[in-house]
């Protein structure tokens, strides 16, 4: 069938970008990568893109379709072609473009290296017997271990767009893969390093990385696990950690988030004094609820009971997030009482529909 697509080409010699349209004959089963292969083989041999495995495991073929990162070899084209939509293919974001759809992954690998992605077991001789990791221990890092380092999450990361030095979702997910490894003895040092500027607490929680990851790693959840582990280890001097702790206290005591007290609780009283002028402006426009008497939510008992329940279960650090992952996977796998295929149709966010692209 006929498949059309537009590709943002980049000529590094002339320093010019141009949007070119191609139409090819491709089989129904063709993926985006197959279509690019046909373009290169039969229409324009100068097109540059990366590929290797063609089966969603090497992580080479990350690129954008209609502005959202995808693995080209995972993206079937038949529905898009039948709809008449002509998708726009471009290089991944947040990384310099080398040529056409090829980006410079140097900064990406630099950040992966920065989190020291190797096991530090604390001994040089592993002894006679192997170290058996239990299923419970493996559950903590199961998703993080699935990363194929394709860069799709980094491409869409809002924090990295604002701060190119932010460690980013892929590197932090890799960091969690070692912090959560029962054999690793450097967790505290790792958590201290990842809690520095440009680390865990600089994530804006936009969840784009979870949405675009083609392997279900859910890097934002990995960052949440790192935050929980850092607080559990007493590494909580960053404002982000204080912010999170205050939200827990606030929800437990009055059942809602008392934003008015957030600034002094997070920044300390002295630093907060600098914000008085700003606060007065907000107050004048009715944007600041009076701190006393504190507003207490109608069903505050439920919030307190939930807090107590979590406390009784003693799920500290990442364990609490692992518990939520399991609960969510049960919901996702059993719709209407029927088991559901997690990799079936609709399980992965599709590229934008024609209507969405046009708007
Ligand atoms: S976390 Fe997902 S999107 Fe990010 S590099 Fe790993 S596999 Fe790719
Ligand atoms: S949730 Fe955090 S790490 Fe993930 S894309 Fe958003 S800002 Fe980046
Ligand atoms: S070519 Fe290997 S992941 Fe697509």
pLDDT tens readout for residues 263-322 = 888 888 888 888 888 888 888 888 777 777 778 888 899 889 988 888 888 888 898 888
Closest CA to 48 of 40, 58, 59, 60: 40
Task: Identify which of 144, 154, 158, 210 to mutate to test ligand 2's pocket (most ligand atoms within 8 A of the CB).
Answer: 158
Closest CA to 3 of 48, 43, 61, 56: 43
Ligand 3 closest atom vs CA 51: 1
**From the CA of 213, which ligand is nearest?**
1
Ligand 1 centroid to Cα of residue 263, in Å, is 34
CA 272 to chain centre: 31
Residue with the nearest Cα to atom 5 of ligand 1?
Answer: 149
Residue 64: per-residue pLDDT: 98
Ligand 2 centroid to Cα of residue 97, in Å, is 21
What pTM value is reported for the model?
Answer: 0.87
Residue 348: per-residue pLDDT: 44
Ligand 1 centroid to Cα of residue 168, in Å, is 11
Ligand 2 centroid to Cα of residue 153, in Å, is 8
Ligand 1 centroid to Cα of residue 176, in Å, is 13
Residue 269: per-residue pLDDT: 82
Angle at CA 234, nearest 5°, toward 273 and 321? 105
* CB of 236 closer than 8 Å to CB of 242: yes
Residue 340: per-residue pLDDT: 56
Residue 63: in which H helix or E strand, if any? Answer: strand 62-65
Per-residue pLDDT of the chain (359 residues; tens, 9 = 90+): 999 999 999 999 999 999 999 999 999 999 999 999 999 999 999 999 999 999 999 999 999 999 999 999 999 999 999 999 999 999 999 999 999 999 999 999 999 999 999 999 887 776 777 888 898 899 999 999 999 999 999 999 999 999 999 999 999 999 999 999 999 999 999 999 999 999 999 999 999 999 999 999 999 999 999 999 999 999 999 989 999 899 889 989 998 888 778 888 888 888 888 888 888 888 888 877 777 777 888 889 988 998 888 888 888 889 888 888 877 766 655 556 565 555 455 544 444 445 554 55
Residue with the nearest Cα to atom 6 of ligand 2?
Answer: 206
Ligand 1 closest atom vs CA 173: 1
**CA–CA gap between residue 122 and residue 186 (Å, rounded):** 8
Residue 329: in which H helix or E strand, if any? Answer: helix 318-333
Residue 321: per-residue pLDDT: 87
Residue 272: per-residue pLDDT: 82
**CA–CA gap between residue 66 and residue 191 (Å, rounded):** 36
């Amino acid at each position: 069938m006929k498949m059309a697509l537009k590709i943002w080409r980049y000529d590094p010699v002339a320093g010019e970008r141009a949007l070119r349209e191609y139409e090819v004959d491709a089989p129904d089963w063709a993926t985006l990568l197959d279509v690019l292969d046909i373009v290169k083989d039969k229409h324009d041999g100068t097109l540059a893109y990366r590929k290797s495995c063609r089966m969603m495991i090497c992580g080479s073929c990350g690129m954008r379709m209609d502005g959202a990162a995808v693995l080209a070899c995972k993206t079937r084209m038949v529905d898009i072609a039948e709809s008449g939509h002509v998708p726009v293919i471009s290089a991944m974001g947040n990384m310099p473009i080398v040529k056409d759809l090829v980006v410079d992954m140097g900064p990406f690998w630099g950040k992966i290296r920065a989190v020291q992605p190797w096991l530090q077991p604390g001994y040089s001789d592993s002894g006679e017997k192997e170290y058996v990791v239990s299923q419970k221990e493996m559950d903590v890092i199961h998703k993080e271990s699935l990363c194929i380092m394709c860069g799709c999450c980094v491409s869409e990361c809002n924090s990295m767009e604002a701060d190119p030095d932010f460690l980013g979702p892929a590197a932090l997910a890799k960091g969690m893969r070692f912090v959560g490894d029962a054999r690793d003895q450097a967790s505290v040092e790792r958590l201290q390093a990842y809690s520095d500027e440009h680390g865990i607490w600089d994530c804006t929680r936009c969840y784009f990385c979870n949405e675009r990851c083609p392997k279900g790693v859910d890097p934002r959840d990995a960052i949440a696990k790192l935050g929980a582990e850092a607080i559990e280890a007493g590494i909580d001097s960053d404002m982000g950690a204080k912010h999170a702790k205050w939200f827990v206290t606030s929800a437990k005591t009055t059942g809602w988030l008392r934003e008015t007290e957030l600034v002094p609780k997070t920044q300390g009283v002295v630093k907060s004094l600098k914000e008085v002028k700003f606060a007065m402006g907000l107050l004048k426009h009715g944007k600041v609820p009076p701190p006393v008497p504190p507003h207490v939510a109608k069903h505050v008992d439920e919030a307190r009971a939930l807090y107590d329940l979590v406390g009784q279960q003693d799920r500290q650090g990442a364990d609490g997030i692992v518990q939520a992952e399991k609960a969510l996977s049960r919901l996702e796998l059993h719709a209407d009482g029927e088991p559901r295929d997690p990799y079936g149709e609709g399980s992965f966010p599709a590229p934008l529909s024609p209507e969405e692209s046009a708007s």
